[in-house]
Amino acid sequence: MRPRFVLHDHRKPSPHFDLRLEEDGVLRSWAVPKGLPVDTAHDRLAVAVGDHDLDHVAYEDEHKSIADEGTWEEHDRDERRFVFSLHGRDGVRRYALIHTGGKQWLLHLTREQPGAR
């Protein structure tokens, strides 16, 4: 069974998205101010935030809703770069999180996508 992910649409205190990946019994989390990238030319800032409990995978309230959910799989990882696929409601998309220092990461939609030729 693959680990779960959730993408929260978080409207307060300021609009942003939270990407959460299940790993080692917690949800690793990044705040993504402009949401997931939709093309390979425009990376998005992702700021690492504290881990969340697994029950947060289904959490919603008046300020937070689930924009996407499903499972994820890791393809490659080192200390600076983490490549993974999200298996969400609308299919599979492959991303890379690239560590740029401190809590700052870039979220990149990879050129090679599952099922692409």
Which pLDDT tens digit goes with each residue over 40-81?
999 999 999 999 999 999 999 999 999 999 999 999 999 999
Residue-level pLDDT at 12 = 82
Please compute the mean of the pLDDT values over residues 17-35 and round it to a whole number: 96
pLDDT at 106: 97
User: E strands of the chain, at which residues?
Assistant: 4-10, 16-23, 26-32, 44-52, 64-77, 81-88, 91-101, 104-109
- 35 pLDDT tier (thresholds 50, 70, 90): very high
Whether residue 34 has pLDDT greater than 60: yes
Q: Could you read off the pLDDT of 83-109 as tens digits, one per residue?
A: 999 999 999 999 999 999 999 999 999
- Tokens linked to 20: 């959460």
Distance separating alpha carbons of residues 13 and 66, to the nearest angstrom: 17
Per-residue confidence (pLDDT) for residue 1, from 0 to 100: 87
Mean pLDDT of 7-13: 90
